[in-house]
Amino acid sequence: MPATPPFLFPPILPIRHGMLAVDALHTIYWEEVGNPNGIPVIFLHGGPGAGLSPQHRRFFDPAVYRVILFDQRGAGKSTPLGEWKNNTTQLLIDDIERLRVMFHVERWLVFGGSWGSTLALAYGQAHPERCLGFVLRGIFLCTRAEVEFFLYGVQWFYPELYDDFVSPIPPEERGDLLQAYARRLLCDDPRQYWPAARAWSRFEGRRVFLLPQEEEGSSDTLDLGVGRLEAHYMAHGAFLDEGQLLRDLPRIAHLPAVIVQGRYDVICPPLSAYRLHQAWPGSRLHMIADAGHGALETGIARALVAATEQFKRHGRFE
């Protein structure tokens, strides 16, 4: 993990938090941060399955913003951890709407990175009348080409990581790594899904940052949430039609948007951010020349804070 950028807002605790049962199986964790009368924001974390971090609260001026954050189904403090049943993009969109109604929010700024950008776009296109604008990072449109790059393209940059990733899979199954991992991750045998979850999470986590970082100890919560839910969503194309997020962009194209993308992102490559920007008249694209995928890399974090500061002053991005 890189050092926390100094220009983030100071650490802050939620003014309230709780659990919300969204169906008979899933209960999601939520928290509210900042000014209860401020500009509403919904924060959408990555993964899917990665969950929240206290650092996520710090992209927003707490005197001006009212920030709602939550662990999506199967992630973080939500229960059951790693549960993929009753877990689709459409159900996550319903959860966001349930939170909006619970907090009596008419419209809010939508902030999401990586998978959070996917969910932000899908939510916005389903409910454009509920959105003030978008702050998006590390764009992932969940197309087949992006999934193929995530699984196979990385070997051009990190061949050693790729070798580690495929090594638990028998050679005869390596032609379809997604299904090979999904069979292990989504089974009921912990002797199969735990090693697979840790291998998947490590495969992603070791290429988040442009510059090498000191590796932290494994987190069972992160490993199981990310491993299971990323495989589940990728195997189903995020429960979207191929190309749907660009196809339906006219539904939100009238709203302000800023797109922050690391030039050397090898998880969500820059082409998707570029295509999104090209299709979104009036959007602002900030290509960060010395960054990879991580939200806390200096250039990316600086651009995200600048975006929330611009929006609080002008209601748009510059």
Tell me what pLDDT residue 213 has: 75
Tell me what pLDDT residue 217 has: 55
Q: Which helix (H) or strand (E) holds 258?
A: strand 257-262
Compute the distance between CA of residue 315 and CA of residue 309 in angstroms, rounded to an integer. 10
The CA distances from residue 312 to 34, 40, 107, 132, 261, in Å, are 13, 11, 14, 11, 21
Compute the distance between CA of residue 115 and CA of residue 193 in angstroms, rounded to an integer. 22
Q: Does 164 participate in catalysis according to the annotation? A: no
**203: exposed, middle or buried (C-beta count within 10 Å: 0-12, 13-18, 19+)?**
buried
**Among 223, 265, 283, 286, the one annotated catalytic:** 265
Tell me what pLDDT residue 218 has: 63
**Among 78, 95, 114, 248, the one annotated catalytic:** 114
Angle (deg, nearest 10), helices 144-151 and 177-185: 80
What pTM, to 2 d.p., does this model score?
0.96
Q: Does 290 participate in catalysis according to the annotation? A: no
Domains and their CATH numbers in the chain: 16-143+241-314 (3.40.50.1820), 144-238 (no CATH)
Per-residue pLDDT tens over the stretch 98-154 = 999 999 999 999 999 999 999 999 999 999 999 999 999 999 999 999 999 999 999
Mean pLDDT for back-to-back runs of 10 residues, the chain (318 residues): 76 98 98 97 97 97 97 98 97 98 98 98 98 98 97 95 95 95 95 94 93 72 95 98 98 97 97 98 96 96 97 81
Compute the distance between CA of residue 132 and CA of residue 304 in angstroms, rounded to an integer. 16
Tell me what pLDDT residue 7 has: 83
Q: Does 114 participate in catalysis according to the annotation? A: yes
Adjacency order of strands within the sheet including 257-262: 16-21, 27-34, 65-70, 39-44, 108-113, 131-137, 257-262, 284-288
Count how many residues are written for the chain. Answer: 318
Compute the distance between CA of residue 230 and CA of residue 225 in angstroms, rounded to an integer. 8
Per-residue pLDDT tens over the stretch 236-246 = 999 999 999 99
Q: Which helix (H) or strand (E) holds 41?
A: strand 39-44
**Among 45, 56, 232, 293, the one annotated catalytic:** 293
Dihedral of alpha carbons 144, 156, 272, 200, sign: positive
